[in-house]
Amino acid sequence: MSLRAYVITRIFLTIPMILILLTLVFLVMRVLPGNPVIAMVGMKASPKYIKQLEHQLGLDKPLWLQYVDYLVDLMRGDFGRSMIWGKRIVIQEIMDHFPATLELTIGGFLVSVLLGLLTGMIAGIRSGGKLDASMRIYSIVVYSLFIPLLGMMLQLVFGVWLRALPVGGRIDPGLEPPTVTGLYIVDSILAMRLDSLLSALAHLALPSFTLGLVLSGIYTRLVRSSLMEVLGQDFIRACRARGLSGRIILFRHALKNALIPILTMMGLQFALLLAGAVLTETTFSWPGMGTFLVERITYRDFTTIQGSIVFYALFVALISLVVDIVYAYVDPRIRY
Amino acid sequence: MLLEVEDLHVHYYTKRGVVKAVEGVSFNLDRSEVMGIVGESGSGKSTLGLAIMNLVPSPGKIVKGSVKLDGKDLTKMSEKELKEIRGKEIAMVFQDPMTSLDPLMRIGDHIVEAIMAHEKISKEEAKKRALELLDEVGISKDRFNDYPHQLSGGMRQRVMIAMAVSLNPKLIIADEPTTALDVIVQDQIMDLFSRLRKEFGIAIILISHDLALELEVADKIAVMYASWLMELSNASDIAREPLHPYTKELLKAIPNVELEDQELLSIPGSPPDLHEPPPGCRFNPRCLNKMPICEEKEPPAKIVSGRFVKCWLYGR
């Protein structure tokens, strides 16, 4: 199978997967205890009013019809309206918060991968030595750091003492670039606004580093063990016997092979980061999905929660699609 | 003389203690000569092969002796100098073709990379050479862009051989090149070796546990047992009149296809644990000609009518 055929097949396989995801979300939201209408208007509302609202929201229809409505609406990009906050449009609220989280996630992800690769490579090449031991200690120490504490320490050092970096928010007020993707860095580049770009990068620095440093420890371990395994394989010895230089063996042969199992981890990690950056968002008053969702869950804003879950599910399906395609691109054995 | 190995000692420094994997091995090899190294698993023959390239894996080390290629001692060379020798002057073909190629690299690129590591030529030229080489070892040119997993074991070994001859080396060390392959493919690969040797005048060291195979292709044969070189002489002499009791047993163990209902013979016992080798001669626990002295003192290396043998049977 060629790479193109593989990609097309894989995309088609994503459709049933997404359908199952959507069905699950629908069922879970219906099975969960608690009447959303009562949550909306309170226990004291008259039964007549409740009936009327249920009718308005289509909750009195048979379940299968609700399911069809739900799917049709989603396909039109209609995630419904908030039940609490003045009936705001859910997809718009998500689009207001999601890019911030995505930007932070990408930043944290890049930092963790870069740090993890570097430390893991050093440990893997020098396995058994002092450098290896220091890298292993590094991985445990950073992994056990508590994000808010680390964040506050960095804020203290870089924000308060050195006054080098901002300690909260996404960008200096007034510098927001015109919205295209919602990612300030991308939008600044698109609008050719250097001042916006620098401000966005400066604001992203500390939260990304906080998030990335803590997660890099996992990669240190993974890269180390994977690289050690590959370096012990026959084809590496065969490369040496061919007189290839150490640099070529490491970068062209060993590292590429060692990264294959780590690729899967990266995909999972990225999806996890998207949902799990709440602590970092709170520490750096980052206006992302984390704080937004926690708030909505406390108020039982069912439609917003359901919409966000669906949105996340779609996004994670997309990431896993991308990971699989990258996987197939790197490893020819997957394609055939 | 192309290759002179003298009094070579290789030790592995393991957690359980020092394993002396090669002890006091010496031999010479001429241009376009084929030498077989035969021995059981763990006899040190593979380590010897790697030691010739100064490629003994850690925790192993060459502790004594020299390996001279055209008079230059490889054991005293820097890693940078060795890089120039490896692949260009001495090439190696490994036992398991399934794992000896990078699974993420096209086979053609393997050959191109090997050529370009040693010669300053353009990628196009290297590719042209690689295509010719594939043809030479009997792989169709349209396989150039295939990945290793798309080839059979025999074909992969051909790719390894194409890489080995790509820089016209003086010596190829083949470590059990056919062990992982079936008998028919084994024959084809051995034919390929003989042809390349005739065509390019390459000397070959063929490491194998299969004495019958060695007798077919080798000019001379070295017999190793528990890291000692036990016997070294012409293949025809070994076949006709083996000197060492171990060689005799090995010859007897070769099954004869012409005899029906023949019982398969094996040498009783197993090779010693090299952490604690037996005192005296290392073969003494399994030897049919054992004498009292064999359990006490290491046998001397003797030259008997021009042939090397390490055994008390041939006097002090």
Strands of B203-208's sheet, edge to edge? B90-93, B171-175, B203-208, B34-38, B220-225, B228-234, B307-310, B301-304
The predicted structure's pLDDT at residue A184: 92
- Interface size, chain A vs chain B, as Cβ–Cβ contacts under 8 Å: 77
- Give the percent of chain A with pLDDT over 90: 49
Rounded Cα gap, residues A241 and A263, in angstroms: 29
Rounded to an integer, the average pLDDT of B276-284 is: 91
User: What values do phi and psi take at B63, rounded to 5?
Assistant: -100, -20
The predicted structure's pLDDT at residue A229: 95
Residue B252 above 80 pLDDT?
yes
Q: Check residue B298 and report its DSSP letter.
A: P
Q: Do A257 and B103 touch (CB under 8 A)?
A: yes
Rounded Cα gap, residues A108 and A270, in angstroms: 9
Rounded Cα gap, residues B57 and A245, in angstroms: 16
The closest of A305, A294, A278, A290 to A39, measured between CA atoms, is A305
The closest of A296, A313, A312, A278 to A81, measured between CA atoms, is A296
Q: Do A333 and B149 touch (CB under 8 A)?
A: yes
Between these two residues, B1 and A276, which has the higher pLDDT value?
B1
Two tokens, residue A3: 């790479």
Nearest CA in chain B to A332: B104
Cis peptide before B59 (omega within 30 of 0): yes
- For testing contact with chain A, the best of B14, B104, B116, B151 (most A CBs within 10 A): B104
Q: Quick one: pLDDT band at residue A85, thresholds 50, 70, 90? A: low
Nearest CA in chain A to B86: A243
The domain spanning residue B243 has which CATH number? Answer: 3.40.50.300
Span B137-166, pLDDT tens digits: 889 999 999 999 999 988 999 999 999 999
Q: What SS3 string covers chain A?
A: CCHHHHHHHHHHHHHHHHHHHHHHHHHHHHHCCCCHHHHHHCCCCCHHHHHHHHHHHCCCCCHHHHHHHHHHHHHCCCCCECCCCCCCEHHHHHHHHHHHHHHHHHHHHHHHHHHHHHHHHHHHHCCCCHHHHHHHHHHHHHHCCCHHHHHHHHHHHHHHHCCCCCCCCCCCCCCCCCCCCCCHHHHHHHCCCHHHHHHHHHHHHHHHHHHHHHHHHHHHHHHHHHHHHHHCCHHHHHHHHCCCCHHHHHHHHHHHHHHHHHHHHHHHHHHHHHHHCHHHHHHCCCCCHHHHHHHHHHCCCHHHHHHHHHHHHHHHHHHHHHHHHHHHHHCHHHHC
The predicted structure's pLDDT at residue A336: 62
Q: Which residue has the tokens 């629908």?
A: A26
Between these two residues, B134 and A290, which has the higher pLDDT value?
B134
Strands of B17-29's sheet, edge to edge? B17-29, B3-14, B60-69, B72-73
The closest of A65, A17, A68, A59 to A38, measured between CA atoms, is A59
CATH architecture of A95-335: Orthogonal Bundle (1.10)
Residue B249 above 70 pLDDT?
yes
Q: Quick one: pLDDT band at residue B101, thresholds 50, 70, 90? A: very high
Residue B169, classed as helix, strand or coil, is: coil
The helix, strand and coil proportions of chain B, stated in percent and rounded to the nearest 5, come to 35, 25, 40
Do residues A9 and A17 make contact, with C-beta atoms less than 8 angstroms apart?
A: no
Q: Check residue B249 and report its DSSP letter.
A: H
Rounded to an integer, the average pLDDT of A48-75 is: 86
The predicted structure's pLDDT at residue B127: 96
Report if residue B58 sits inside a domain: yes
Residue A28 above 90 pLDDT?
no
The predicted structure's pLDDT at residue A61: 85
Of B86, B99, B147, the CB nearest to A243: B86
Q: Quick one: pLDDT band at residue A48, thresholds 50, 70, 90? A: confident
Between these two residues, B259 and A146, which has the higher pLDDT value?
A146
Rounded Cα gap, residues A91 and A64, in angstroms: 24
Chain A positions contacting chain B at CB under 8 Å are 233-235, 237-246, 248, 252-253, 256-257, 260, 330-333, 336
Of B88, B91, B99, the CB nearest to A234: B99
Residues of chain A with Cβ-Cβ distance to B85 below 8 Å are 243
Alpha-carbon dihedral sign for residues B148, B153, B154, B157 = positive
Q: Do A237 and B84 touch (CB under 8 A)?
A: no
Rounded to an integer, the average pLDDT of A203-228 is: 95
Residue B98 above 70 pLDDT?
yes
The predicted structure's pLDDT at residue A104: 95
Nearest CA in chain B to A244: B117
Residue B92 above 90 pLDDT?
yes
Residues of chain B with Cβ-Cβ distance to A241 below 8 Å are 53, 55, 86-87, 91-92, 94
Q: Do A253 and B105 touch (CB under 8 A)?
A: yes
Q: Which residues contact A292 (CB under 8 A, 6 or more apart)?
A: A93, A97
The closest of A143, A267, A283, A268 to A208, measured between CA atoms, is A283
Span A121-137, pLDDT tens digits: 999 999 888 999 999 99
Report if residue B291 sits inside a domain: no
Two tokens, residue B207: 């490491």
Residues of chain B with Cβ-Cβ distance to A331 below 8 Å are 103-104
Span A321-332, pLDDT tens digits: 999 899 888 888
Report if residue B173 sits inside a domain: yes
Half-sphere exposure of A64 (CA within 13 A, CB side): 0
Do residues A80 and A306 make contact, with C-beta atoms less than 8 angstroms apart?
A: yes
Q: Average model confidence (pLDDT) for chain A?
A: 89
Residues of chain B with Cβ-Cβ distance to A242 below 8 Å are 86-87, 91-92, 113-114, 117, 163
CATH 1.10.3720.10 intervals, chain A: 95-335
Do residues A241 and A140 make contact, with C-beta atoms less than 8 angstroms apart?
A: no
Distance from CA of B174 to the nearest CA of A (A): 12
Rounded to an integer, the average pLDDT of B34-50 is: 93
Two tokens, residue A34: 């608690």
Rounded to an integer, the average pLDDT of B82-105 is: 92
Q: Average model confidence (pLDDT) for chain B?
A: 91
Of A233, A245, A331, the CB nearest to B83: A245
Tally of domains in chain B:
1
Distance from CA of B176 to the nearest CA of A (A): 14
Residue B206 above 80 pLDDT?
yes
> Which phi-psi region, left, alpha or beta, contains residue B297 (left: φ > 0; alpha: ψ -120 to 50)?
beta
Angle at Cα A87 formed by Cα A82 and Cα A91, nearest 5°? Answer: 50
Distance from CA of B213 to the nearest CA of A (A): 24
What ipTM was predicted for this assembly?
A: 0.88
The closest of A66, A29, A80 to A297, measured between CA atoms, is A29
Residue A55 above 90 pLDDT?
no
Structural domain for B43, as ranges = 3-282+298-314
Rounded to an integer, the average pLDDT of B106-127 is: 94
Residue B263 above 80 pLDDT?
no
Two tokens, residue B314: 């041939």
Between these two residues, B316 and B178, which has the higher pLDDT value?
B178
Report if residue B123 sits inside a domain: yes
- For testing contact with chain B, the best of A233, A235, A331 (most B CBs within 10 A): A235
Report if residue B289 sits inside a domain: no
Alpha-carbon dihedral sign for residues A62, A66, A72, A78 = positive
Distance from CA of A238 to the nearest CA of B (A): 6
The residue type of A142 is V
Residue A86 above 80 pLDDT?
no
Distance from CA of B110 to the nearest CA of A (A): 9
Distance from CA of B32 to the nearest CA of A (A): 20
Residue B106 above 80 pLDDT?
yes
